[in-house]
Structure 1
Amino acid sequence: MVVTILVSAMVVQIPLVLNADLGWLLTVNEMILAGQKLGADLFESNPPLSVYMYMPAAWLGRSTGVAPELVVIFLVIVEIVVALVVIESANVAAKLEVGERSVFLRSFAFLLALLPGAVFGQREHIAVIALTPFVAVAALRWRGLCPGRAAVVAGLGAGLAMSIKPFFALVVGLPIIANVVRQRSLRPLLIPEAVSAAIVVSGYAVVVATVFAEYLSVYAPMVAEAYLPIRKEFGSLLPLPIAMIGGSIVFLRLLAPRQFRVAGDATPWLAASVGGAASFLLQGKNWPYMAFGLSVFAIAAPLLQVRTNTLRKSVAIGGAASMVLIAAYLSSPPPDFPPLAERIQALVKHPRLLTITDHIGLGHPLVRELHGVWVGRSCAELLAGGAIWREQDPQLSDDARARLDNIASFEKRQLLTSLRIGRPDVVLVDTYLFSTIPFDWLSWAKSDPEIRAELGRFHEVKGVGRVRIFVSESQPPGA
């Protein structure tokens, strides 16, 4: 059954896996392989590991001729297999019965391979896969069982997850804190998996501080100033975590009343789901993929208690319906752009492409679908968008406004460099700010005289929806 689930996931993902984030991260790694340098020629708002974790797929794709997005599918399935092996090893060491171990394997094969849908292959998906063995080991220790040497490997995975996104420290920490409170002792802080996780995170911090010092000193402060504060209202974020954790508790109460207690075996899984909820709330963007950790652990708490011989039909139907709804939510599309590929191909074959927008989804994965060349120095003017958004606040201090102006100027310098050095054939210009309010990105760009001069060599053709299309004068005019 596990093999069937994994093979099915591979087949399902072939037409689905290439999304905006993955398209950009594969493209930027290909540009690095071609000789460009992250932090000098290329800029990414996330920490360096978010980029380089896709380097194996880009390198293997370049070496073998296989599309890198297909390599991503294969490598993620391999990671899931490794996670299942670690969980099985810990369960064997803990002397769990075969039936219970089988429930674990089938459950997590489904949760990690099929549930993600359109989230498959994204950073959160990869991080949660790496993190799951750690929570499984925490659940064994909660029951007073020994997970054996697999605990160290589980800790390495947790360290990787926290390095990908520091918010996952909440998922790692809450099950441990629950055990500290239960035992009234600090010894759970020194278990092997916690130590190995700390070593990985510390090692990664040293690498970033030494190898990517420019990111910490130059780019990270701009991200903190212009991007991180852009968030949804807290009240609009709360319903999802409340519904998921509340639903998890309800199903747990129906399936296994004894595990509903604070001391029940499901407590570590519930603690991990609360950590996932806290991560979702702190990030504040309300993007579905950011709720993947919350979803997996909220489902796991009751799912691991399922026993088919005692499962009531009504509970089974309700549980299945709930998981379908969660899967549909995770795969719900973001605010989208109109179809552009055919329109652009009719104007320029395999174009050198650039966008002027705050939205990654305008240029990616479009440039890969066109078999074109991305000439931008970042995925979009994301920091400029954040600066423009924040400067609408009338209570903003003069110092903060000055910093935001400098960030917008930085983005304009990068755009100018992309126009001069990249020599795009096609420039796509958005007409919305964060897909929410109308905004004239063309006027914003042309407020810089040098950018205005560079854009003077383009003519506008008929746009599509919210997107204005500009083609280089060296290309024939479009209809």
Structure 2
Amino acid sequence: MKRQWMVAAAIVLAAALVQIPLVLNADLACLLTLDEKILDGRKLGIDLFELNPPLSVYMYMPAAWLARSIGVAPELVVIILVVIEIVVALIVVDRANVAAELGMEERTLFLWSFAFLLALLPGAVFGQREHIAVAALTPFVAVTALRWRGLGPGRTTVVAGLGAGLAMSIKPFFALVVGLPIIASVVRQRSLRPLLTPEACSAAIVVIGYGAIVATVFADYLSLYAPMVAEAYLPIRKGLGGLLPLPIVVIGASIAFLRLLAPRQFRITGDATPWLAASIGGAATLLLQGKSWPYMAFGLCTFAIAAPLLQVSTRTLRKSVAIGGAAAIVLIAAYLSSPSPGFPPLAERIQALVKHPRLLTITDHVGLSHPLVRQIGGAWVGSSCGAQLLASGAMLRESSSQLADAERARLDGIIKFERRHLLEDIRKGRPNIILVDTYLLSSFPFDWLAWANADPELRAELSRYREAEDVGRVRILVDRSYQDQ
């Protein structure tokens, strides 16, 4: 097995090397920046605000702390830690396969398949929360698949459950990825025993423990910020017509390839059923979140590919099927790495105005400020990387719905909350560059500067800035009193 592990290690190492110049995407840069501010003494929920539950921020804290301790870039530490997670997931899956007495050929197929799916397939998704969650979930689904076949997964089950609990704590939607394979087992066995396995119990303990920590340590998030997120952010979603095509195509292709590769497994009791159930759970998470951002489809795509891939036999694999499968995987990888609505290049223009600026944005898109502020060696002075996303959701709801007076009052309160924190950020952070977007949710032309100036106090603060230039959809404001030394 040493040779097989060497190949898997080469796949993971190649992925890590490819990621060094790529990994710093907007979400990761934003969360690392918040972690660095927490290390500097700021407090989440008081000085800093994040749309997602606290684990979204603190899961990157080890990388930020280690990077500061040893003096390296935090994104490099993120790559190393995610690679370690992938290796641990591969080891847990392999140990379960050994305990189940799978043959060497099948163990090798599992090892190489998940080395590829967890390390190379993510592309631009590498290091994001969904990637980390799916890597943590994989041993759980693998253990469930072994039990489905009537095999014993050994002592790795508790570790697999801990990973599933971590994934559900990162995003509760992943309970569907965990739950559907279990529900399939319950229906098949006509018994509740699959709900009481060691892996299911340990996953539940992690989720309950995390919930207790959030309720006690981060009570402000639950009482103040979470209701606003539910009111203004969660309703921002695409219609089913824009969400359904991807799951239909991906799961349909998975079933078609499964039928071609392993006709005997193409039935409800086949070995691939738990993997298909997990991919359907991934599709459900995508539909429930309603954003159709590519990284949210990573669970759907990973387990949909795994279902037929784990049934491959090199002795019977037809060339046409292999080519078609490879093409499908390439298309999925391209989709996962497709860029989000972008902004024009701003780094050189900003540096020509101010070297290493204190930066702030007026926008609802995190991609305007991150990773830009890190790339130019600037300082982010905002209290939230999500910028005015809650305000944009509130305004969109107010413009498109018939609302009761109480609901409209809550939305108005959210908009006031965003304006108040923008005012505090300008007063406390004293940015010398403010970037102003001209679109709402990257879809509708919108004058964010007029929105800010509608508040008298904000208008007074913004009067200290002059508009240096427009670059595409972005207006660059510079502090009138700043003189570049």
TM-score range relative to shorter protein: over 0.9
Inter-partner Cα distance in structure 1 for 2:442 and 2:483: 31
User: How many angstroms does 1:89 deviate by?
Assistant: 0.7
1:11 to 2, 6, 17: 17
Q: Secondary structure at the match of 2:65?
A: helix
- Superposed, 1:316-465 pairs within 5 Å as 316-379=322-385, 380-465=387-472
Between the two proteins, what is the percent identity of the paired residues? 75
Q: Secondary structure, in 3 states, of the residue corresponding to 1:391?
A: helix
Matching residue of 1:52: 58
In 1, Cα distance between the equivalents of 2:366 and 2:405?
30
What is the CA-CA distance between 1:476 and the residue it aligns to?
4.1
2:122 is equivalent to residue 116 of structure 1 = yes
Per the TM alignment, residue 94 of structure 1 is displaced from its structure 2 partner at its CA by 0.6
Residue 475 (structure 1) aligns with: 482
Higher mean displacement: 104-113 or 385-394: 385-394
1:355 is paired with a residue whose SS is: strand
Q: For residue 258 of structure 2, what is the aligned residue in structure 1?
A: 252
Q: For 2:355 and 2:313, locate their aligned partners in 1 and report how far apart those are by CA, in whole Å.
A: 57
For 1:376 and 1:386, locate their aligned partners in 2 and report how far apart those are by CA, in whole Å: 19
For residues 260-295 of structure 1, give each alpha carbon's deviation from its aligned partner in whole angstroms, at most 9, with x where no partner exists: 111000000000000000010010000000000000
How many residue pairs get aligned? The number is 477
| Cα shift readout 1:333-384 (whole Å, capped 9, x = no counterpart) | 0000000000000000000000000000000010000111000010111101
Match among 165, 171, 175 for residue 165 of structure 1: 171
Partner of 1:138: 144
Match of residue 214 from structure 2 = 208
AA at the equivalent of 2:79: I
Distance 2:472 2:25 in 1: 20
| 1:223 corresponding residue in structure 2 | 229
Q: The residue matched to 1:413 in structure 2 has which SS?
A: helix
How far does residue 395 in structure 1 lie from its aligned partner after superposition? 1.3
In structure 2, what is the Cα distance between the partners aligned to 1:362 and 1:127? 26
CA distance in 2 between counterparts of 1:474 and 1:104 reads: 62
Task: Report SS of the residue matched to 1:87.
Answer: helix
Q: Could you say which residue in structure 1 is the equivalent of 2:111?
A: 105
Q: Where does residue 153 of structure 1 map in the other structure?
A: 159
- Residues 394, 177 of structure 1: CA spacing in aligned structure 2 closer, same or farther, 3 A cutoff? closer
List aligned pairs for 1:83-98, cutoff 5 A.
83-98=89-104
- Work out the CA distance in 2 between the residues paired with 1:393 and 1:313: 52
Cα offsets for 1:221-267 (capped at 9, x unmatched) = 00000000000011110000000000000000000001111100000
- Compute the displacement of 1:394 (Å): 4.2
Q: Residue 4 of structure 2 corresponds to which residue in structure 1?
A: none
* Alignment-mate amino acid for residue 318 of structure 2: R
Quote how far apart the aligned CAs of 1:4 are: 1.0
Letter of the aligned partner of 1:444 in structure 2? W
Equivalent AA in structure 2 for residue 405 of structure 1: D
Describe the SS at the equivalent of 2:151: coil
Q: Using the alignment, how far apart are the partners of 2:218 and 2:332 within structure 1? A: 38
1:441 maps to a residue whose letter is W
Amino acid at match of 2:88: V
The residue aligned with 1:23 is: 29
| Partner Cα distance (1:32, 1:389) in 2 | 32
SS at match of 2:399: coil
**Cα shift at 1:391:** 0.8
1:137-181 superposed Cα distances (whole Å, 9 cap, x missing partner): 000000000101101100000000000000000000000000000
- Give the drift of 1:307: 1.1
Deviation, 1:451, is: 0.7
TM-score by length of 1: 0.99
C-alpha RMSD of matched pairs (Å): 0.7
CA drift of 1:474 comes to: 2.0
Following the alignment from structure 2 to structure 1, what is the Cα–Cα distance between the partners of residues 155 and 236? 43
Amino acid at match of 1:71: V
Distance in 1 separating the partners of 2:127 and 2:479: 35
- Decide which of 191, 194, 197 is 2:200's aligned counterpart: 194
Task: Give the Å deviation of 1:323.
Answer: 0.3
Aligned to 2:43: 37
Q: State how far apart, in whole Å, the 2-side matches of 1:65 and 1:464 are.
A: 35
One-letter amino acid of the structure 2 residue matched with residue 164 of structure 1: I
